[in-house]
């Protein structure tokens, strides 16, 4: 089942990214582009079973994996997506105050949390077509299947139905 309203939220962030990337060489993006943020939102699957969100599962330790869980109002499922430059975002968990990142660019690399560093290529994400792309790996945050507690990884982005079910996220 497709949740259209949620898709539009991330599509708006993608429009911000596209507008910022269209600037002439050497031009600075407008302040509102770099300061844009989604505060205290859940990242919820757009396709498949309803009510599945990205969660830190109560974990606050460095390198704890992000997993999929039933959506709750808990702070371990609340995120701030903060624009850093030209549509690049960091994704910070409310409970742990740590940011999502990856340790390698290969498919199957688990997405974990670590102390936030907006200039670290391992923590830079952009949003397009309801997908969360790693700028460094050029792959998408993926939660294949519907098993609760399953770790999020990065894999090649795709438009097949299976890829869309695993890679499309909205805010709630």
For 126-157, what is each residue's pLDDT tens digit?
999 999 999 999 999 999 777 899 999 999 99
Task: Judge whether residue 9 has pLDDT over 60.
Answer: no
pLDDT in tens, 55-101: 999 999 999 999 999 999 999 999 999 997 688 999 999 999 999 99
User: Candidates 3.40.50.2300, 3.50.50.60, 2.80.10.50, 2.102.10.10; correct CATH number of 4-171?
Assistant: 2.80.10.50
> For the residues 8-36, what does the mean pLDDT come to?
40
CB 171 within 8 A of CB 44: yes
Helix (H) or strand (E) holding 66: none
Which residues does 17 contact at the CB level (< 8 Å), separation at least 6? 86, 87, 88, 126, 127, 128
pLDDT of residue 116: 97
Q: For all residues of the chain together, what is the average pLDDT?
A: 84
Domain boundaries, the chain: 4-171
CB 93 within 8 A of CB 56: yes
What's the gap between Cα 30 and its chain centre? 23
Task: Judge whether residue 104 has pLDDT over 90.
Answer: yes
pLDDT of residue 145: 77
> For the residues 41-53, what does the mean pLDDT come to?
92
Task: Judge whether residue 35 has pLDDT over 50.
Answer: no
**The model scores a pTM over 0.85:** no
Band of pLDDT at residue 18, cut at 50, 70 and 90: very low
């Amino acid at each position: 089942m497709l949740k259209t309203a949620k898709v539009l939220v991330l599509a708006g962030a993608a429009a911000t990214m596209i507008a910022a990337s269209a600037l002439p060489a050497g031009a600075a993006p407008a302040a509102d582009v770099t300061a844009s943020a989604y505060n205290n939102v859940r990242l919820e699957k757009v396709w498949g079973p309803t009510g599945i969100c990205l969660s830190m599962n109560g974990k606050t330790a460095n390198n704890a994996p992000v997993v999929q869980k039933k959506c709750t109002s808990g702070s371990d499922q609340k995120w701030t997506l903060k624009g850093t430059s030209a549509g690049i975002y960091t994704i910070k968990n409310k409970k742990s105050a740590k940011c999502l990142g990856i340790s390698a660019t290969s498919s199957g690399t688990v997405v974990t949390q670590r102390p936030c560093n907006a200039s670290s290529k391992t923590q830079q994400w952009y949003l397009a077509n309801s997908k969360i792309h790693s700028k460094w790996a050029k792959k998408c945050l993926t939660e294949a299947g519907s098993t609760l507690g399953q770790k999020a990884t990065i894999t090649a982005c795709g438009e097949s139905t299976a890829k869309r079910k695993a890679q499309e996220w909205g805010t709630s």
